[in-house]
Structure 1
């Protein structure tokens, strides 16, 4: 399963305690006293409030094939500890095989999907105590699937990147530097996610799609950022073309192994070719051409070799396929005498 849900409700100014406002910036003793006040607030929850918060967490939990009866007493007790303890800031809920498990940390076992709840910190740095009234503004929650890198990528692309791109309070230079680093991070994360499967995936930054063409070609900082991305694309494609061992999942001992490898390579190269026909990617190359960027020449030189590599892979697949059935028959032979 590969779907992610990430929800975050930013806390408003009304959620900040007036006590915190009056004591913020005072001496260490006052700050320690404020933290003690926070701790004491966690002890005043009534049993009814705790039960209500438990129900909220249960109702917010979204896992594949989740049933309410899976929340046994052990899970509920851990949820209650998360609610009442001022020192516990994260709760995770997941299935360990067929059993629902709650943990006050990140699990060390494999999981298909996981729900997390993260308490927000107050201005003093202490963890905000939960109440039924402040639950929506004091908790960040969401789900993550396995493999985790896919979830991280999806959450960043669909949630955090649009928020960042719409931010208008940062200076242009700061936002530009951050955007450049963010693009490279997402490019490497995309590469990692698909490289595990032996595939080459090209990341196209959202910011490059949204900016008008006539604005983009005059923005030197923007040009520098997309040049960095195109350099990354060039390296990825060059590796895919040159390193024929990068996606071999096993050592090749038989013609069947060789056949499977070339079939695998052909599919990967077809995927690269299809990605290069993406309208947003083509738009980026047009922007760089309009600026006479030297990096676009190198990129186009590298991709010009894809067609030849595809023909080679296709030819090898066609000829090796002739040996596929005879080799499979040999695998069934138990001894030379029976052949």
Structure 2
């Protein structure tokens, strides 16, 4: 907890320097982080820390009023004047100078604030609200002088704050957490089978439950509307692991939602809505039905996509020139998924997976060819690698067409056969563009090899010298243009990279 610093720290005999303000900061650091004095001495005496300490204590112009002390995984202290972009694994300590000019020794009241920065700030804030803020504001003893309307409004805001924090924590963890309505703790005392008890139920509790059903509906619909194709539609080029991870996370999230809706407290809330004939009970049933259907779908898809993980890792873990034998087993698994899954056998789903497999092959080919060096290295070696990649990618397309033609063999006798009746262009649009660019690079390298042979050509006869000079001029001109092209710092395999003039350009 942050608090004003008003007292002067007792000087440590072996503290570096004689400035009591530095010793004061050191005492607070050692007390908060529970370190030995030697750690602070080494930190404060380092060349990197001294300017930061001096600027903070003297209030130098342009110096931020914040000083942050962090502890690295190796146990070394470090000073900074900016908050880290991402939280560390251990807590940090902050000092905040609240006034202009040098810091007094000792600091005056409110002149210096200090406090801990926990590694998990959100969980720390949630605990603060749950254990400090909410109990204080919700305590009826603190409301005795407040009007009833104000008291109720405060209670509503406190519950709203707790619910929002609960939801945000779930979002950070990739889960959809459903906050319970205010007064839900009273549900265990309500006998929904007893009509007299139901008639005596506070109408405000029913209203709170109905409002919660609306909020849950928005949350759950948001989770259900997410599609694995979103990264592709947004213009990025995800690989198949993104697809597998999406369905794994979706299954876990929907299972989490389902388990929350199946708790005893939520079931009693639904029974109460049914007993009072609330118009929101059908909406609750429809919401629960949607969750069950989506969970069944996600479970089926996750189950059938999981075996692809090993095949994809095999492709990622070998050099691209060794990928060709792995293509057929991978597409075999894709066909099995299509034939056996009850929910992944739609063109929209399988096209996403196949596009992402193309992205994986393109990425692996890109890594293998090293585009920034492909025109700078030996032309013969680069040409061989380009032709090797062209052969592997063409093999992938050919294997795809073979699997498409024999897709019926993956279905059991009597089972309805579903063909891949979509156009190949929907799968290979990006791969075809990459192949065209590779073919351009291949032509360029092949031309370069042919032109390089002109260097050693000599003509005889009456016009031999003149012809030899013309050939040499042609060779030198090509070498000059080729050098300009090869020296350019751009990705020659990027199909979005259109270079005119002496560069590669698609027609």
Residue equivalent to 2:71: 95
Classify 1:8/1:328 alpha carbon distance in 2 versus 1 (closer, same or farther; 3 Å): closer
Classify 1:52/1:100 alpha carbon distance in 2 versus 1 (closer, same or farther; 3 Å): closer
The match for 1:184 among 160, 163, 175 is: 160
Q: How many pairs are equivalent?
A: 285
Q: Give the unaligned 5+ runs of structure 2.
A: 12-19, 99-103, 191-196, 326-507
User: Whole-Å Cα distance in 2 between the matches of residues 205 and 278 of structure 1?
Assistant: 14
Residue aligned with 1:304, SS = helix
Counterpart check, 1:310 vs 2:283: no
Deviation at 1:160, TM superposition (A): 1.4
Counterpart check, 1:144 vs 2:118: yes
Residue equivalent to 1:57: 28
Matches within 5 A, 1:102-117: 107-112=83-88, 113-116=91-94
Task: Give deviations 1:178-226, integer Å, cap 9, x for gaps.
Answer: 3333333433333333324432122336764379856993262x55445
Q: Is this contact kept in 2: 1:259–1:320, CA < 8 A?
A: yes
The match for 2:201 among 206, 210, 217 is: 217
Deviation at 1:267, TM superposition (A): 1.4
User: Whole-Å Cα distance in 2 between the matches of residues 319 and 188 of structure 1?
Assistant: 36
Task: Give deviations 1:262-300, integer Å, cap 9, x for gaps.
Answer: 222111111112222345545555565565543344233
Residue equivalent to 1:35: none
Counterpart check, 1:201 vs 2:177: yes
User: Whole-Å Cα distance in 1 between the matches of residues 148 and 96 of structure 2?
Assistant: 31
Q: Tell me the TM-score normalized by structure 1.
A: 0.60
Residue equivalent to 1:334: 320
Q: Tell me the TM-score normalized by structure 2.
A: 0.43
Classify 1:299/1:245 alpha carbon distance in 2 versus 1 (closer, same or farther; 3 Å): farther
Deviation at 1:157, TM superposition (A): 2.1
Residue aligned with 2:127, SS = helix
Matches within 5 A, 1:236-255: 236-245=219-228, 252-254=238-240
Deviation at 1:236, TM superposition (A): 0.9
Residue equivalent to 1:173: 149
The Cα RMSD (Å) is 5.1
The match for 2:39 among 44, 59, 70 is: 70
Q: Is this contact kept in 2: 1:199–1:247, CA < 8 A?
A: no
Residue aligned with 2:77, SS = strand
